[in-house]
């Protein structure tokens, strides 16, 4: 048995196509084989019931309508998804009160009349197959079947209870809008629309996932976003042969360029003004139904250090904060490694007095430096995870108490030196400055620590170069992920956030079409600047 | 399309497995971490001293180790000699390294020289010549080039074992003292590199500060007591603090030094604001060398005594004349001593070597005698811009009243 | 048939050339042993001597914009001789990269990690540069602006920190050495740091630049790199004076003397790390060129499977080259410049003349 | 000794399968030749066998022609 397994693995490795993969792909089309809607109402209803076998929330109501109540029809909807008020008011009441004029009416004309004039609902669709009818019911619409007519009407009556727009916990902000996305797709697209009132903001709907049929909306500014990226996103999403999409995280993994990299190459955010900002820079937003996290593609490494407040506060302060975040990111990855290499390999770099203080602290501690730091970082990760998983009130208490006790007890018991606790605390705190890259930072930190415990500062230097090169090799939808230090024009928004009135061009590597963001005008420093300013031709003209 | 995606996935998955394997192998392969020296497995040397062994012709190497006591009460390494803040290790051998190697057998931790603060030679050893003992400091990776060098007046272990209340160890104390002195003038601080480069030039003689330990009631104190003169690695003689001042003034770039002048009218101490010396070396036809030192600078009056009955406008020229006299006298005095010892401590030889290389070839062999009959002219031009807070001293008070 | 489709801009080439030259700042140690205080003059002379060959390099690139060195050799010398010369150049590039790799490992072993075996360090270096070489020219030259800026900042910072120990008379006994050592010094400088730019004959097809821009970017890269090299030598001599030939790596001892207040001293480790990163860039470039030459010679379509093998060969071959540092120093001063001249100056000039006689580029356009 | 064999085996694993899959005989040939050379060199070095260095060899030839300094 073992040999056979090895042979199969070898054959797989040698010829590369995993043949077994294709046999198992069964066709999961069970419920679509039900076929078309027939003329007889009862037949249709019983096939519908056969489809939704023992699902208690499917409501079917038969009624008679027409002048002399000669026609019979039925209404089918899922209780909870469809709002009962729309079903009764907008659908049942008009049909029943409808008085047909004289003359014989064929079933087909009745359906047309109903859909055009009688029904008060906003969106009515004529459907001929059972699968569409079932799909409509499942997404909250009401299906109207008429005896003798082979078409059914699917009326939009979505009305489940939604969460109201609230402030997102993950991205708290001092200045700037506080509204965050909700789980409902329509509210999210509406929030973005309110930010960018421009007909060129395209919203294309896609449905993905055989079992879950999740709605995904691609939003991009036509003329600003790069067509190639839009095509690529559309191509990758529409070709997803997957079972289920429950959160935008699924989409992120399926369509990103480097599936195995610890770095996320697709940005996700919960705030509409962030998405609006990124759309204006030429990116494509992917709004997934059922999750408040909207993906923005393509993402650059620099976006880790850009927060919304940078653009709302003073440019000077914002630039200093951005540099602080960059140093924090460097510290959170390299601080433990540098500490190890300084105390275990190159003691001569430390000034003499500092060396003696560290030597005093380390006197008698049992573990070598590398193991000591590894233990402390490991316990810090446990504490952080505990802090997140527990309910909010308890979480805060746990992390503080844990840190205090752990640090204090370990030092006094002589297990760990005080400088080690300080370094790990510094690393932990600085990792909170770049929340998006938290998980990748903790992975890379361990790798570089191992390197530094083997080769000291040389290992750290090689680790830094490897990280730099690896980042350089990543692309996000064809666009260089880490353009860092390259001689590009959009340095205006990287390490330093230049004042808004100087940022005339959109980022060169993302936007393609209309590049000018705002006409270059002298800042209103001169007293008379306001009068003579005729901002007639703005960045783009609204037809 | 799917086949391509799957192939891409296979390739990526394969390369991931391989890199993980390679990395893990790298770790096992390299887990030797050769250079890893834990801090608590080190003896941090803060002072090295070489001395003549009392009886045999060996030398004793004394290492001063900074003591690290752990606050957490864990076991502390007991040095061979109970001492409050420094452990002293002693060993004797034919050369420094030979002695140190013998030390390794009885000490539990490896020696670490990077943080060495001072290198001391005892004067007897210095008199016999240090050249053959310098090679260890030149060749060893861990010995630093910018470590200050000292000659001790008497046996070195007494200096290193001195128990100072302020500093952690004598080595650090000496480094601090020299650091402050170098603020007065850079020529006080003699680093290993300067000593090496001067010993390498056969004609130039090096100067090294001398240290002496003296007892004050029960406390032991360290004090810099002048400079030792070396020629070709051998110590000839030493300059006391007063003569060293003359040498410092001759070399120039002097700050904060106190200059004392005495005359029948009164006594004054100046604080040097800055004094710089321009040196002009000319070769005479008859093979002799003529050196002209021109000293300029500014002095501030630190303290006045006497000059009673003189008003301020008359005192200043008097003081200037006294200062210029004094400086000229001091420089000449030290120069005389250097000439008597035929020790070119001013590195005039290397200056000639640089400026007139061809003539230098002939003079090189007989440089001792040429140096001893150099005729030196010193002219000093000093002004006294600063007189401190008060202009006139109390004794001078009476005179100004009568004039008005 | 271009193996690596990556395209880089001419400005990136400029930075890559500058960084390539700056990273050989370590090699001035060989020079100072011969020409002590006058090495800075020799560096200048070497640069001036190399200028005509730089012009020749530029014209060769202009004449054959689409073909790299191996293809040029095939076309100018015909298939048989072209192949032989191609193999010779392959040996040359392989030796060049393994010498530099062993240099890096020995330098690190000599300055930072005294007891770690050198092959361990070169193995790590190869693994890291394999990431870049696998991805192609775009990634290899992507960070050259960063390295150039870091090199310039380090150089100015270190000069500034050591300025107080800078004595002008350390330069003084000028022109006291025999003429032969000046000639030898210039020859070393002209071939080892500057001559290695012949490597760019393999890379120029991947660069999008017009004919005029080629020489401009090559020249500016050469100027920036040469200037930094020259000022490094100046600084070392200014500080160390007559002891400059005493030490194996003078710039390292200069960094050791940095004494800014009581605390900031002994910083030569930081400077050594930066020098290592610069040398890493040079090794990655040479590694890429070696792999490209092999795949060009044997017409292999995708080269990134050969990367690790060539890397391992570089490590092992490098260890056999110089059994001891003394032999290395001796050979670098005497025999290596002559061998390098053959590859860097004689063959390119011969190709240039032959191409002009047979009016080859015209044949291609017709 | 074992470490070297393990190291070479691992990095061969990384590259051999893609090369075989790419089915280009030329590439396979070059790979094997280079692999063998570097493996033998590594083993010889490990066994402290004195391998004459090419550069020094060329140097001696040039010295005999008095072309060097």
pLDDT of A294 higher than 60 = yes
Query: For the segment B281-300, what is each residue's pLDDT rounded down to a tens digit?
Result: 888 877 788 888 888 888 88
- State the Cα torsion A427-A432-A437-A441 to the nearest 10°: 10
Interface confidence, given as ipTM, is 0.84
Among A352, A462, A509, pick the best mutation site for testing chain C contact (most C Cβ within 10 A).
Answer: A462
How far apart CA B83 and CA B86 sit, in angstroms, is 6
Query: For the segment C292-350, what is each residue's pLDDT rounded down to a tens digit?
Result: 999 888 888 888 788 889 999 999 998 888 888 778 888 888 888 888 888 888 899 99
Please state, as a whole number, how many other Cβ atoms lie within 10 Å of the Cβ of residue C232: 25
Query: pLDDT confidence of B95, banded at 50, 70, 90?
Result: confident
In a domain, D36, yes or no: yes
Among D3, D12, D16, D17, pick the best mutation site for testing chain A contact (most A Cβ within 10 A).
Answer: D17
Q: Which domain holds residue D17?
A: 2-64
Top pLDDT among A170 and C83 is at C83
Q: Which domain holds residue A147?
A: 34-155
In a domain, B87, yes or no: yes
Q: How far is B228 from chain C (nearest CA, A)?
A: 23
Q: Look at the block and give the residue holding tokens 């008698």.
A: A364
pLDDT of B10 higher than 60 = no
In a domain, B244, yes or no: no
The answer to which of A402-406, B94-98, C189-193 has the lowest mean pLDDT is A402-406
Q: How many domains does chain B have?
A: 2
- Copy the structure tokens of residue C87: 């193999």
The pLDDT assigned to C364 comes to: 47
D56 in contact with chain C, both atoms CB, cutoff 8 A: yes
Q: Look at the block and give the residue holding tokens 């810099």.
A: B224
- Copy the structure tokens of residue B110: 């490896």
Q: Are residues C176 and B34, on separate chains, in Cβ contact within 8 Å?
A: no
| Nearest-CB residue to B18 (from D3, D6, D10) | D10
What 3-state class would DSSP assign to B219?
Answer: strand
C335 in contact with chain B, both atoms CB, cutoff 8 A: no
How far apart CA B122 and CA B120 sit, in angstroms, is 7
Q: Are residues C257 and B351, on separate chains, in Cβ contact within 8 Å?
A: no
Q: Are residues D14 and B15, on separate chains, in Cβ contact within 8 Å?
A: yes
Query: pLDDT confidence of A275, banded at 50, 70, 90?
Result: very high
Q: What is the largest CA-CA distance in chain B?
A: 115
- What are the chain A neighbours of D21 within 8 Å (beta carbons)? 14-16
Q: How buried is C110 (Cβ within 10 angstroms: 0-12 exposed, 13-18 middle, 19+ buried)?
A: middle
Q: Could you tell me the residue ranges of all domains in chain C? A: 8-365
pLDDT of A521 higher than 60 = no
Q: Are residues B11 and D13, on separate chains, in Cβ contact within 8 Å?
A: no
Query: For the segment A215-235, what is each residue's pLDDT rounded down to a tens digit?
Result: 899 999 888 888 888 898 898
Q: Which domain holds residue B137?
A: 38-70+78-239
Q: Helices H, strands E: what count in chain B?
A: 13, 13
Q: Are residues A16 and B37, on separate chains, in Cβ contact within 8 Å?
A: no
Shared domain for B221 and B265, answered yes or no, is no
- The answer to whether the beta carbons of residues C68 and C296 sit under 8 Å apart is yes
The pLDDT assigned to B4 comes to: 60
What would you report as the CA-atom Rg of chain C, rounded to the nearest whole angstrom?
Answer: 20
Q: How buried is A150 (Cβ within 10 angstroms: 0-12 exposed, 13-18 middle, 19+ buried)?
A: middle
What 3-state class would DSSP assign to C163?
Answer: helix
Strands B42-52 and B110-112: parallel
Shared domain for B199 and B62, answered yes or no, is yes
pLDDT of B390 higher than 80 = no
Instruction: Give B178's contacts (C-beta < 8 A, 6+ positions apart).
Output: B118, B148, B150, B188, B189, B209, B224
For B113, phi then psi, to 5°, come to -95, -10
- Copy the structure tokens of residue A406: 């752990």
The pLDDT assigned to C216 comes to: 87
On average, the pLDDT of chain A sits at 81
Could you write out the DSSP letters of every residue in B383-397? EEEE--S-SS-HHHH
Instruction: Give the end of a domain, one of B239, B269, B284.
Output: B239
Over range A36-59, report the average pLDDT. 83
Per-window interface: C 70-129 vs B, CB < 8 A: 110, 113-117, 120, 123-124, 127
Query: For the segment B304-348, what is each residue's pLDDT rounded down to a tens digit?
Result: 887 777 777 777 888 888 888 888 888 888 888 888 888 888 888
pLDDT of A285 higher than 90 = yes
The pLDDT assigned to A542 comes to: 47
- Copy the structure tokens of residue B287: 């093979």
Q: How far is A20 from chain B (nearest CA, A)?
A: 12
Q: How far is A115 from chain B (nearest CA, A)?
A: 42
Q: Are residues D20 and A16, on separate chains, in Cβ contact within 8 Å?
A: no
In a domain, D69, yes or no: no
The answer to which of A351-355, A435-439, B94-98, C201-205 has the lowest mean pLDDT is A435-439
Shared domain for B235 and B259, answered yes or no, is no
Q: Are residues D20 and A14, on separate chains, in Cβ contact within 8 Å?
A: yes
Per-window interface: C 11-40 vs D, CB < 8 A: none
Q: What percent of chain B has pLDDT over 90?
A: 0
How far apart CA B54 and CA B122 sit, in angstroms, is 12
Q: Are residues C149 and A487, on separate chains, in Cβ contact within 8 Å?
A: no
| Nearest-CB residue to C266 (from B29, B144, B201) | B144
- The answer to whether the beta carbons of residues B187 and B247 sit under 8 Å apart is yes
pLDDT of C187 higher than 80 = yes
| Nearest-CB residue to B25 (from D10, D17, D18) | D10
Over range A303-311, report the average pLDDT. 84
| A:D CB pairs within 8 Å | 6
pLDDT of B82 higher than 50 = no
The answer to which of A125-139, A384-398, B242-256, C225-239 has the lowest mean pLDDT is A384-398
* DSSP-assigned letter for residue A165: P
Instruction: Give the end of a domain, one of B217, B239, B261.
Output: B239
- The answer to whether the beta carbons of residues A151 and A37 sit under 8 Å apart is yes
Q: Which contiguous run of DSSP H or E holds residue A77?
A: strand A71-78
How far apart CA A316 and CA A229 sit, in angstroms, is 33
C128 in contact with chain A, both atoms CB, cutoff 8 A: yes
The pLDDT assigned to B50 comes to: 87
Over range B47-56, report the average pLDDT. 84
The pLDDT assigned to A123 comes to: 81
Strands B119-122 and B149-152: parallel
Strands C8-9 and C207-208: parallel
Give the chain A residue nearest D13 (alpha carbons): A13
Q: How buried is B66 (Cβ within 10 angstroms: 0-12 exposed, 13-18 middle, 19+ buried)?
A: buried
Query: pLDDT confidence of B81, banded at 50, 70, 90?
Result: very low
C276 in contact with chain A, both atoms CB, cutoff 8 A: yes
B380-383, long-range: CB < 8 A, 24+ apart = B380/B294, B380/B295, B380/B296, B380/B323, B380/B324, B380/B327, B380/B328, B381/B294, B381/B295, B381/B296, B381/B324, B382/B275, B382/B295, B382/B296, B382/B297, B382/B298, B382/B299, B382/B320, B382/B323, B382/B324, B382/B327, B383/B298, B383/B299, B383/B320
Over range B237-252, report the average pLDDT. 85
Query: pLDDT confidence of A19, banded at 50, 70, 90?
Result: very low
**If DSSP states are collapsed to H, E and C, what string results for A371-391?**
HHHHHHHHHHHHHHHHHHHCC
Query: For the segment D8-46, what is each residue's pLDDT rounded down to a tens digit?
Result: 888 888 788 888 887 788 888 899 999 999 999 998 888
How far apart CA B132 and CA B144 sit, in angstroms, is 18
Give the chain A residue nearest C277 (alpha carbons): A461
The pLDDT assigned to A332 comes to: 93
Give, in order, the Cα–Cα distances in Å from A158 to each of A87, A153, C68. 10, 15, 66
What 3-state class would DSSP assign to B225?
Answer: strand
User: Which neighbouring-strand residues pair with A214?
Assistant: A208
How far apart CA C271 and CA B236 sit, in angstroms, is 41
pLDDT of B28 higher than 60 = no
- Counting as contact any 3 or more CB pairs under 8 A, the partners of B are A, C, D
In a domain, A502, yes or no: no
Q: Are residues B18 and D7, on separate chains, in Cβ contact within 8 Å?
A: no
Q: How many domains does chain A have?
A: 2
Query: pLDDT confidence of A21, banded at 50, 70, 90?
Result: very low
Over range C15-23, report the average pLDDT. 90
In a domain, A176, yes or no: no
- Copy the structure tokens of residue B195: 């000593």
Instruction: Give the end of a domain, one of B239, B264, B290.
Output: B239
Query: For the segment B104-140, what is each residue's pLDDT rounded down to a tens digit?
Result: 777 778 888 888 888 888 888 888 888 888 888 877 7
A3 in contact with chain D, both atoms CB, cutoff 8 A: no
Shared domain for B132 and B83, answered yes or no, is yes
pLDDT of A295 higher than 70 = yes
In a domain, A10, yes or no: no
- The answer to whether the beta carbons of residues A540 and A513 sit under 8 Å apart is no
How far apart CA A458 and CA C269 sit, in angstroms, is 10
Could you write out the DSSP letters of every residue in C267-291? THHHHHHHHHHHHHHHHHHHHHHHH
Over range A312-324, report the average pLDDT. 87
Shared domain for B215 and B257, answered yes or no, is no
Shared domain for B125 and B265, answered yes or no, is no
Sign for the pseudo-dihedral over CA of B156, B160, B164, B170 = positive
Among B346, B354, B359, B364, pick the best mutation site for testing chain C contact (most C Cβ within 10 A).
Answer: B354
Top pLDDT among C181 and C3 is at C181
Highest mean pLDDT (candidates A257-261, C36-40, C307-311):
C307-311
Shared domain for B180 and B291, answered yes or no, is no
The answer to which of A119-128, A160-169, A446-455 has the lowest mean pLDDT is A119-128
Please state, as a whole number, how many other Cβ atoms lie within 10 Å of the Cβ of residue C356: 12
| Nearest-CB residue to A458 (from C112, C127, C142) | C112
| A:C CB pairs within 8 Å | 80
Q: How far is C220 from chain D (nearest CA, A)?
A: 32
pTM reported for the whole predicted model: 0.84
Please state, as a whole number, how many other Cβ atoms lie within 10 Å of the Cβ of residue B283: 16
Q: How many whole angstroms from its chain centre is CA C212?
A: 24
Could you write out the DSSP letters of every residue in A406-452? HHHHHHHHTSS-HHHHHHHHHHHHHHTSSGGGHHHHHHHHHHHHHHH
- Which CATH number does C8-365 carry? 1.20.1740.10
How far apart CA C204 and CA A355 sit, in angstroms, is 51
The pLDDT assigned to A219 comes to: 92
Q: How many domains does chain D have?
A: 1
The backbone region for A449, taken as left when phi is positive above 0, alpha when psi lies in -120 to 50, beta otherwise, is alpha
- What are the chain D neighbours of A16 within 8 Å (beta carbons)? 21
Among D7, D23, D25, D55, pick the best mutation site for testing chain C contact (most C Cβ within 10 A).
Answer: D55
For C171, phi then psi, to 5°, come to -85, -10
Q: Are residues B351 and C173, on separate chains, in Cβ contact within 8 Å?
A: no
Give the chain A residue nearest B74 (alpha carbons): A364
Q: Are residues B44 and A355, on separate chains, in Cβ contact within 8 Å?
A: yes
User: Which neighbouring-strand residues pair with B299?
Assistant: B272
The backbone region for A364, taken as left when phi is positive above 0, alpha when psi lies in -120 to 50, beta otherwise, is left
Instruction: Give the end of a domain, one of A473, A493, A515.
Output: A473
| B:D CB pairs within 8 Å | 24
* DSSP-assigned letter for residue A543: -
């Amino acid at each position: 048995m073992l040999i056979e397994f090895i042979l199969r693995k070898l054959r797989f490795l040698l010829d590369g196509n995993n043949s077994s993969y294709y046999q198992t792909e069964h066709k999961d089309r069970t419920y679509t084989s039900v076929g078309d809607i027939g003329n007889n109402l009862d037949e249709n209803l019983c096939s519908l019931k056969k489809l939704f076998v023992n699902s208690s929330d499917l409501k079917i109501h038969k009624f008679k309508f027409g002048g002399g109540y000669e026609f019979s029809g039925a209404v089918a909807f899922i209780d909870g998804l469809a709002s009962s008020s729309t079903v009764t008011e907008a659908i049942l009441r008009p049909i029943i009160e409808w008085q047909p004029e004289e003359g014989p009416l064929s079933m087909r004309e009745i359906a047309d009349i109903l859909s055009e004039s009688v029904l008060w609902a906003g969106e009515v669709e004529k459907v001929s197959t059972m699968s569409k009818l079932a799909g409509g019911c499942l997404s909250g619409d009401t299906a109207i079947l008429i005896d003798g007519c082979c078409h059914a009407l699917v009326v939009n009556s979505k009305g489940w209870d939604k969460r109201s727009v609230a402030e997102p916990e993950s991205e708290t902000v001092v200045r700037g809008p506080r509204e965050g996305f909700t789980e409902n797709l329509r509210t999210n697209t509406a929030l973005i629309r309110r930010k960018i009132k421009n007909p060129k903001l395209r919203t294309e709907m896609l449905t993905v996932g055989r079992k879950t049929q999740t709605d995904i909306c691609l939003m991009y500014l036509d003329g600003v976003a790069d067509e190639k990226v839009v095509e690529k996103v559309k191509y990758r999403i529409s070709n997803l042969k997957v079972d289920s999409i429950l959160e935008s995280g699924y989409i992120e993994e399926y369509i990103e360029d480097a599936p195995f990299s610890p770095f996320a190459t697709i940005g996700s955010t919960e705030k509409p003004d962030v998405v609006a900002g990124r759309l204006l820079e030429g990116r494509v937003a992917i709004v997934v139904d059922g999750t408040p996290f909207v993906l923005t593609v393509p993402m650059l490494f620099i976006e880790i250090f850009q927060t919304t407040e940078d653009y709302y506060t003073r440019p000077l302060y914002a630039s200093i904060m951005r540099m602080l975040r960059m140093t924090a990111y460097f510290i959170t990855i390299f601080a433990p490694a540098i500490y190890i290499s300084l105390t275990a390999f190159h003691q001569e770099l430390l000034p003499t007095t500092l060396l003696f203080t560290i030597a005093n602290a380390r006197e008698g501690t049992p573990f070598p430096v590398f193991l000591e730091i590894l233990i402390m970082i490991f316990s810090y990760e446990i504490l952080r995870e505990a802090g997140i998983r527990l309910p909010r009130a308890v979480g805060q208490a746990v992390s503080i108490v844990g840190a205090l006790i752990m640090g204090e007890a370990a030092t006094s018991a002589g297990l760990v030196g005080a400088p080690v606790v300080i370094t790990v605390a510094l690393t932990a705190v600085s990792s909170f400055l770049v929340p998006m890259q938290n998980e990748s930072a903790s992975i890379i930190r361990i790798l570089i620590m191992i390197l530094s415990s083997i080769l000291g500062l040389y290992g750290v230097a090689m680790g830094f170069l490897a990280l730099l090169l690896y980042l350089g090799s990543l692309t996000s939808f064809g666009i260089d992920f880490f353009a860092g230090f390259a001689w590009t024009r959009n340095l205006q928004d990287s390490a330093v956030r230049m004042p808004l009135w100087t940022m005339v061009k959109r980022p060169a590597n993302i936007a393609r079409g209309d590049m000018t963001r705002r006409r270059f005008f002298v800042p209103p420093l001169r007293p008379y600047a306001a009068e003579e300013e005729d901002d007639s031709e703005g960045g783009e003209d609204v037809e | 399309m799917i086949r391509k995606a799957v192939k891409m996935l296979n390739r990526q998955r394969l390369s991931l497995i391989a890199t993980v394997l390679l990395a893990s192998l790298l770790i096992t392969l390299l887990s030797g971490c050769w250079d890893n020296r834990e801090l608590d497995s080190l003896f941090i040397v803060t002072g090295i001293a070489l001395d003549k062994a009392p009886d045999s012709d060996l030398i004793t190497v004394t290492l001063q180790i900074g003591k690290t006591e752990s606050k957490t009460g864990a076991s502390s390494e007991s040095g061979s000699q109970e001492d409050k803040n420094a452990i002293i290790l002693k060993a004797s051998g034919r050369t420094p390294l030979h002695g140190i190697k013998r030390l390794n057998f009885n000490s539990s931790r490896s020696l670490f020289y990077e943080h060495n603060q001072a290198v001391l030679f005892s004067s007897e050893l210095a008199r016999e010549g240090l050249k053959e003992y310098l090679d260890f400091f030149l060749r060893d990776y861990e010995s630093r080039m910018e470590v200050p060098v000292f000659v001790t007046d008497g046996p070195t272990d007494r200096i290193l074992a001195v128990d100072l209340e302020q500093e952690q160890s004598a080595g650090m104390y000496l480094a601090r003292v020299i650091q402050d002195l170098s603020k007065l003038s850079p020529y006080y601080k003699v680093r290993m590199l300067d000593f090496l480069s001067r010993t390498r030039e056969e004609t130039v003689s090096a100067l090294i500060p001398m240290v002496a330990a003296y007892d004050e009631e029960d406390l032991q104190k360290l004090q810099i007591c002048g400079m030792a003169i070396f020629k070709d690695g051998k110590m000839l003689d030493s300059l006391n603090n007063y003569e060293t001042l003359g040498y410092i003034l001759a070399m120039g770039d002097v700050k904060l030094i106190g200059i004392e002048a005495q005359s029948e009218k009164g006594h004054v101490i100046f604080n040097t604001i800055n004094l710089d010396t321009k040196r002009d070396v000319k070769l005479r036809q008859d093979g002799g060398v003529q050196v002209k030192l021109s000293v300029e600078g500014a002095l501030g009056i630190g303290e006045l005594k006497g000059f009673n009955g003189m008003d301020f406008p008359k005192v200043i020229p008097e003081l200037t004349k006294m200062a210029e006299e004094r400086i000229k006298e001091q420089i000449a005095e030290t120069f005389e001593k250097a000439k008597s010892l035929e020790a070119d401590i001013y590195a005039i030889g290397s200056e000639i070597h640089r400026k007139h290389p061809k003539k230098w070839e002939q003079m090189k062999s007989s440089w001792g005698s040429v140096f001893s009959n150099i005729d030196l002219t010193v002219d000093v031009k000093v002004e006294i811009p600063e007189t401190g807070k008060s202009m006139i001293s109390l004794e001078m008070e009476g005179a100004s009243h009568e004039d008005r | 048939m271009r193996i690596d489709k990556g395209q880089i801009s001419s400005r990136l080439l400029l930075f890559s050339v500058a960084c390539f030259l700056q990273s050989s700042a370590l090699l001035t140690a060989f020079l100072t042993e011969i020409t002590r205080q006058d090495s800075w003059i020799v560096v200048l002379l070497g640069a001036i001597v190399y200028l005509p060959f730089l012009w020749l390099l530029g014209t060769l690139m202009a004449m054959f914009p689409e073909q790299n060195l191996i293809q040029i050799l095939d076309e100018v010398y015909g298939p048989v001789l072209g192949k032989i010369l191609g193999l010779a150049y392959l040996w040359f590039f392989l030796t060049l990269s393994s010498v530099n790799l062993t240099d890096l490992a020995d330098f690190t072993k000599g300055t930072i990690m005294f007891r770690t075996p050198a092959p361990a360090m070169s193995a790590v270096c190869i693994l890291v540069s394999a990431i870049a070489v696998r991805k192609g020219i775009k990634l290899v030259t992507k960070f050259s602006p960063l390295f150039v800026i870091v090199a310039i900042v380090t150089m100015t910072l270190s000069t500034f920190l050591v300025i107080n120990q800078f004595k002008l008379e350390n330069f003084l006994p000028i022109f006291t050495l025999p003429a032969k050592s000046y000639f030898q010094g210039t020859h070393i400088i002209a071939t080892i740091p500057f001559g290695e730019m012949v490597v760019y004959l393999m890379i120029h097809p991947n660069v999008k630049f017009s004919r005029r821009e080629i020489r401009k970017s090559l020249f500016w890269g050469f100027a920036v790199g040469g200037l930094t090299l020259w000022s490094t030598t100046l600084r070392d001599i200014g500080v160390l004076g007559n002891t400059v030939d005493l030490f194996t790596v003078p710039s390292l001892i200069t960094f050791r003397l940095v004494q800014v207040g009581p605390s900031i001293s002994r910083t030569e480790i930081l400077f050594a790390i930066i020098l290592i990163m610069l040398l890493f860039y040079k090794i990655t470039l040479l590694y890429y060129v070696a792999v490209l030459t092999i795949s060009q010679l044997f017409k292999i379509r995708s080269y990134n499977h050969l990367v690790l093998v060539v890397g391992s060969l570089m490590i092992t071959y490098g260890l056999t080259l110089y059994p001891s540092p003394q032999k290395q120093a001796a050979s670098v001063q005497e025999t290596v410049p002559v061998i390098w001249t053959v590859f860097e100056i004689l063959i390119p000039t011969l190709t240039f003349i032959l191409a002009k006689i047979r009016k080859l580029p015209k044949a291609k356009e017709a | 000794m074992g470490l070297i064999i393990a190291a070479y085996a691992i990095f061969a694993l990384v590259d051999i399968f893609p090369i075989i899959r790419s089915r280009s005989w030329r590439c396979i040939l070059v790979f094997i030749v280079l692999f063998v050379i570097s493996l033998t060199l590594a083993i010889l070095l490990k066994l402290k066998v004195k391998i004459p260095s090419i550069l020094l060899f060329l140097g001696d030839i040039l010295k005999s022609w008095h072309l060097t300094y």
